[in-house]
Amino acid sequence: MSDVRLKSVGAYSPRLRISAAEFREAWGRFEAAGVETKAVPEADEDSLTMAVEAARRAIDAADVSPDDVGYLAFATTTPPMAESDLTARLTSLLGVTADATTRTMTGSTRAGAQALDASLDAGPWDGRLGIVVAADCPTGSPDSGIEHAAGAGAAAVVLGDDGPGVVRDRSSYVEPFPGTRFRTLGEGETTELGVTDYDRQSFAAALGGAVDGLNAFDHVDAAAVQSPDGKRPYRVTDVLGVEPDHVAAADTVETLGDTGAASVLLGAAKAFDNSAERVLLAAYGSGAGANAMIVDGELPTKCALDASVDLTYPEYLRRREVITADEPDGGGAYVSVPSWKRTIPQRHQLNAGECPSCGALNFPPSGACRTCHSRPDAYETVSLPGTGTVEGVTTIAQGGAPPEFVEQQSQSGPFVSAVIALDGPAGDEAVSVPAQVLTRGDSSVAVGDRTETVIRRIYRQEGVIRYGFKMQPIDAD
Amino acid sequence: MRDAYIIGAGQTPFGSMPDRSYRSLFLTAFERAVESVPHGIDEDEIDEAVIGSLGVGGRQLGLSGPAATEHLGLHGIPSSRIENACAASGYSVRQAVQAVKSGMADVALAGGVEVMTDMSGDMTKYWLGVSGETEWERLTGTTFAGVYAQMASAYLDRYDATREHLSMVAVKNHANGAKNPNAHLGFECSLDDAMSAPDVAHPLNLYHCCPTSDGAAAVLVASEDVVDEYTEEPVRVAGVGASSERVGLFQREEYTTIASSRRAGETAYDRAGLGASDIDFAEVHDCFAIAELLAYEDLGFCDPGGAPQLLDDGVTDLDGDLPVNASGGLKSKGHPIGATGAGQIAEAFKQLRGKAGERQVEDPTYGLTHNVGGSGGAAVVHILEREVGR
């Protein structure tokens, strides 16, 4: 077995929810059995931003520093870019050092479990840490069962050479089942042929094969089983040798929907969060393959899986970009990708600069000091904690966004834009920055409100997604 | 240095004229400026030209100065375009004044032009944000309405002011603009209209925002050595002040003042040897209603936080002690970005010569114009004097 131990688990889901009832009203029926509500990414969320949220929580729960991470694996079936190494941005957004070994796993819904499996072989890392993060937000065609089930969420595990979590046993299995859930090259939507019995046979054969590879186990407290809908995992309890209650103890599909490559790790996070001490992980990827693992231990967790905003079906379609506008043509203001890259230390890590002449904080730290107007050779880099106070604020009404933000406004409506006095590292001096502030429902933002940073998509131009910080009210969690 | 005088000034109507080219608009403004010179002027006597424009839409972004003056037949004279966002032609007038005062020109043409209504709404939005701080401020999804709204939120939080005061600016300026045949939105509006309009960027609603307009304005500046050839009613440039500030709001020390306006005003008063109490009327840069309140304070018409009281007391109404934006201001007269500053000078020139018709201010001696670029990255203030008994 591996010498790698599990130190913590973190989990995140977007706060937006749509209910099965909304689909029934729109379509006359709902194709995702066992799903009551599902999580929907906001317009500025994707698998990368969700991965940041889950990973930060896992790092918090383990009470470790991102500086200590030497290995990072990212798993998703829905990378925001089909080609482009997203682990570089994920590493930067998390504050992990540039020399970390990084891996990307994709291509099927068992990518999350594969990433964990591979990292157990890769570590330990000479006293440094590993982090595995799975995040997913699948989509299908609007009338399909895949789309009705398609949810969103992310889970992350921190690994090291010590920790309360031990992988007792693990196993892998593959068997060709072409035509089960798939996505052709260049397509955005996942589909399936819908040969029902064949699909069920594939699911049971692969998972059964993986579990057969494990040594016999006495009992588990929970079974985190791949959940493309809320019925499929319960059909394989006999094959897995578990009870329906065990599946229910790690069930997130009922509230979050199908979370793809994050499904099994999310289930495990829920189980450990509810004090499970032995969890079976049973991940399935169509095509088909499966991974099974037994994880023992009392793992610290930090989970944000609660809902707060219900969407109507039209609002949902806007988030899904089904009925929205793209960025209009135009000209004028333009920030090139290379000049954006130059600001990444500020946008990802809130690096401000202290003026060597007067000590004032500058953000971004370039050009003349905004306080004493001297032009230093270099600013001393200061990392800001990420909390701040609203100094000036407006809501950009529908139709009032500049072209780069038309797509965002088309998807999620009016947005709040503010000037924020970000707290300095010592808490006594602040430096002002412009930022959007996330709101929920009809909540409003006023001068004096306290906020904290959160990583989101800022905008997409020339096909390139640009990530950076926004703010959210500090009591948002 | 010798004195500079305004001997003529004119403008096109401001409004929506999508079929007019920037050159044809500027030609009209130029002809009106020439017509306004009391003794007339031989166009060959114009030594140089400076034309302000942002260049909305792109079009002739390069060499638009020479392109315009050659179109006018001002063949061969030095001509250039000056860009300082919405303060472009306030700065072009300042530059013409400099040319005349320095002795490099006896007569200089200043002006501005902008065409904004001949393109799609999307294209317009692209261009409206180009004078904000691009890399950070714009990328929070703000155009200028958003940035001024942030200033308004800070102002309303800090001082005893309400959204009604913002609406009072709209009511006053529309009442004045209704008396101005050159106004883009020359109609009156009620306080109820100005309170109940849809939000553009809260707390600013549609009536708290100026329109986008087409238009041009032209100003002829002459030296004291030649002024008597052109007029017996000279309007002296008593003082000019200009100043810059950080382009992004977030980079500034305060959000409830425009420091560049304050400094430009102080310099202009200082050069003119005058104070705010000497001013008889003002044309201020009310691109958004909050900007007019800030202008009152930055130009010393009242103390910080005192602007709402001035509005409550009607001080800046047309029949008040210090009429502000008798022309209708940017709100009602219109805001063809590059033409706005020169248009303010054209209005002040008209007022000082007593030719402003229904909106005439009573017997003024000193008029002030205040032109701001962006959310305050640039500001320029002129004080003009009707010189009696020269």
Number of A to B CB contacts under 8 A, please give it. Answer: 133
Would you say residue A346 lies in a domain? yes
Dihedral angle over CA of A320, A322, A324, A329, nearest 10:
110
- Alpha carbon distance, N-terminus to C-terminus of chain B: 18
The pair of three-digit structure tokens given for residue A398, joined into one six-digit string: 């529908």
Same domain, A99 and A191: yes
Of residues B210, B215, B207, B209, the one with CA closest to residue B191: B207
Tell me the DSSP string of B257-297.
S-HHHHHHHHHHHHHHT--GGG--EEE---SBHHHHHHHHH
Number of domains comprising chain A: 2
Q: pLDDT tens for residues B164-196?
A: 999 999 999 999 999 999 999 999 999 999 999
Tens of pLDDT, residue by residue over B119-150, are 887 778 788 778 889 899 999 999 899 999 99
Chain A positions touching B249 (Cβ under 8 A) are 392, 419, 434
Distance (Å, whole) CA B36 – CA B6 = 11
Q: Please, where are the H alpha helices in A176-291?
A: 196-212, 232-235, 237-240, 244-248, 253-256, 263-273
C-alpha–C-alpha distance, residues A66 and A129, integer Å: 9
B113 DSSP 8-state letter: E
* Whether B373 contacts chain A with CB within 8 A: no
Name which CATH class applies to B4-119+211-386.
Answer: alpha beta
Structure token pair of residue B174: 């529309």
Domain assignment of residue A328, yes or no: no
Q: Is the dihedral of CA B168, B171, B176, B182 positive or negative?
A: positive
Provide the pLDDT for residue B125: 78
Q: A421 by DSSP, 3-state: which?
A: strand
Q: A35 and A89 in contact (C-beta within 8 Å)? A: no
Facing A433 at nearest CB: one of B126, B129, B250: B250
Beta strands A222-225; A278-285: pairing state? parallel
Q: Are B217 and B29 in contact (CB under 8 A)?
A: yes
Interchain proximity B136–A434, CB inside 8 Å:
yes
Q: Please tell me if residue B119 touches chain A, with a CB cutoff of 8 Å.
A: no
Looking only at the bridges linking them, the beta strands covering A37-40 and A101-105 are unpaired
- A344 and A277, same structural domain? no
Residue of A394, A397, A436 with shortest CB distance to B150 = A394
Q: How far is B140 from A435, CA to CA, in rounded Å?
A: 5
Give the span between the Cα atoms of B346 and B369, in whole angstroms.
10
Cα of A324 to nearest chain B Cα, Å: 15
pTM score: 0.91
The pLDDT of residue B61 is: 84
A342: number of Cβ within 10 Å = 13
**How many whole angstroms separate alpha carbon A252 and alpha carbon A150?**
12
Active site residue B302: no
SS3 content of chain A, % helix, strand, coil (to 5): 25, 30, 40
Q: Do A404 and B149 touch (CB under 8 A)?
A: no
Structure-token pair, residue A101 = 């070994």
> Could you tell me if B140 and B64 are in contact, meaning their C-beta atoms sit under 8 angstroms apart?
no
Nearest chain B alpha carbon to A326: B122
Q: Determine the pLDDT at residue A323.
A: 75
Q: Could you give the 3-state DSSP secondary structure of residue A50? A: helix
> pLDDT per residue over B79-104, tens digit each?
999 999 999 999 999 999 999 999 99
Query: Could you tell me if A313 and A390 lie in one domain?
Result: no
Beta carbons of B286 and B86 less than 8 angstroms apart: no
Helical spans, DSSP H, in A128-226: 145-149, 196-212
Q: In what helix (H) or strand (E) does residue A228 lie, and over which residues does it extend?
A: none
Chain A contact for B215, CB < 8 A?
no
Asked if B132 is an interface residue toward chain A (Cβ–Cβ < 8 A), one would say yes
Cβ distance of A393 and B150 shorter than 8 Å: yes
Verify whether the Cβ–Cβ distance B141 to A397 is below 8 Å: no
Strands B366-373 and B281-283: parallel
Does residue A363 lie in a domain region? no
Question: Looking at residues B323-339, what average pLDDT do you find?
Answer: 98
**Residue A39 belongs to some domain of the structure:** yes
ipTM over 0.90: no
Domain of A104?
5-319
Contact by Cβ (8 Å): A118, A105: yes
Residue B85 phi/psi, 5-degree rounding, is 55, -135
* Candidates A355, A405, A419, partner chain B, best to mutate (most B CBs within 10 A): A419
Same domain, A311 and A342: no
pLDDT tens for chain A, 477 residues long, are 689 999 999 999 999 999 999 999 999 999 999 999 999 999 999 999 999 999 999 999 999 999 999 999 999 999 999 999 999 999 999 999 999 999 999 999 999 999 999 999 998 999 999 999 999 999 999 999 999 999 999 999 999 999 999 999 999 999 999 999 999 998 999 999 989 999 999 999 999 999 999 998 889 999 999 999 999 999 999 999 999 999 999 999 999 999 999 999 999 999 999 999 999 999 999 999 999 999 999 999 999 998 779 999 999 999 988 777 777 665 556 888 899 999 999 999 999 999 999 999 999 999 999 999 999 999 999 999 999 999 999 999 988 888 889 889 999 999 999 999 999 998 778 999 999 999 976 778 999 999 999 999 999 888 899 999 999 999 744
Mean pLDDT of chain B: 96
Count CB atoms within 10 A of the CB of residue A59.
25
The answer to whether the beta carbons of residues A51 and A135 sit under 8 Å apart is yes
For position A82, what pLDDT does the model report? Answer: 93
Same domain, A296 and A403: no
Query: A229 vs A234, A302, B177, CA distance in Å?
Result: 10, 25, 65
The reported pLDDT for the residue numbered A218 is: 83
CA angle in degrees (0–180, nearest 5) for B350-B352-B353 = 65
Closest approach of A395 to chain B, Cα-based (Å): 5
In sequence order, what are the beta bridge partners of A468? A456
Where does residue A347 rank: exposed (0-12), middle (13-18), buried (19+ CB within 10 A)?
buried
Domain check: are A303 and A402 in the same one? no
Amino acid at A183: R
- Note whether residue A288 is domain-resident: yes
Residues of chain B in contact with residue A343, where contact means CB-CB under 8 angstroms, are 135-136
Angle, in degrees to the nearest 10, between helices B289-298 and B259-272: 40
Whether the predicted pLDDT of B7 surpasses 60: yes
Residue B389 is predicted with a pLDDT of 67
Q: How far is A348 from chain B (nearest CA, A)?
A: 13
Chain A interface disruption, residue of B59, B139, B253, B337, most A CBs within 10 A:
B139
Burial readout B364-376 (b: 16 or more C-beta within 10 A, e: otherwise): bebbbbbbbbbbb
Enumerate the H helices of chain B as residue ranges: 22-35, 64-72, 88-102, 121-128, 144-158, 163-177, 191-196, 227-230, 259-272, 289-298, 307-312, 329-332, 340-352
In a mutational test of the B interface, the residue from A346, A396, A458 whose CB has the highest number of chain B CBs within 10 Å is: A396
Query: Which of B61, B126, B140, B142 best probes binding to A when mutated, by most A CB atoms within 10 angstroms?
Result: B140
Residues in chain A with CB shorter than 8 Å from the CB of B248 are 434
Domain membership flag for residue A222: yes
Contacts A404 to B, Cβ<8 Å: 138-139, 141
Task: Tell me, yes or no, whether A359 lies in a domain.
Answer: no
Task: Name the pairing type of β-strands A5-12 and A101-105.
Answer: unpaired
**pLDDT (mean) for B297-309:** 98
For residues A282 and A417, membership in a common domain is answered with no
The single-letter DSSP state of residue B324 is B
Residue A331 belongs to some domain of the structure: no
Amino acid at B10: G
Instruction: For residues A248 and A302, state if they share a domain.
Output: yes
Nearest to B325, CA basis, from B280, B370, B283: B283
Burial class (CB within 10 angstroms; exposed 0-12, middle 13-18, buried 19+) of B158 = middle
Partner-chain residue, chosen from A334, A364, A391, that has the shortest CB–CB distance to B255: A391
Rounded CA-CA distance B208/B287 in Å is: 8
Q: State whether residue B62 sits within 8 Å of chain A by CB.
A: no
B146: which residues sit within 8 A by CB, 6+ positions away?
Answer: A394, A396, A400, A417, B201
Closest C-alpha among B370, B99, B375 to residue B242: B370
The answer to whether the CB of A420 falls within 8 A of the CB of A433 is yes
pLDDT band at B244 (very low <50, low <70, confident <90, very high): very high
Contact yes or no for B126 and A333 at CB 8 A: yes
